[in-house]
Amino acid sequence: MKTSLDHVRVNVKDLQKAIDWYETYLGFKVDTVWPPDKPNYVHFQKEEGAIFALMEHPDYPSPGRFNFYIEYVDDLWSELKDQVDVVEELGETAYGSRKFTIRDPDGNELGFVQS
The residue ranges of DSSP E strands in the chain, in sequence order, are 7-12, 30-34, 41-44, 51-56, 65-69, 85-92, 98-103, 109-114
Is residue 5 within 8 Å of residue 50, measured between CB atoms? yes
Is residue 69 within 8 Å of residue 114, measured between CB atoms? yes
How far is the C-alpha of 81 from the C-alpha of 89, rounded, in Å?
A: 8
Q: Which structural domains are found in the chain, ordered by start?
A: 1-60 (3.10.180.10), 62-115 (3.10.180.10)
pLDDT in tens, 52-108: 889 887 766 656 678 888 889 999 999 999 999 999 999 998 889 999 999 999 888
pLDDT in tens, 30-50: 999 999 899 999 999 988 888
**pLDDT value at 3 more than 60:** no
Q: Output the pTM of the full model.
A: 0.74
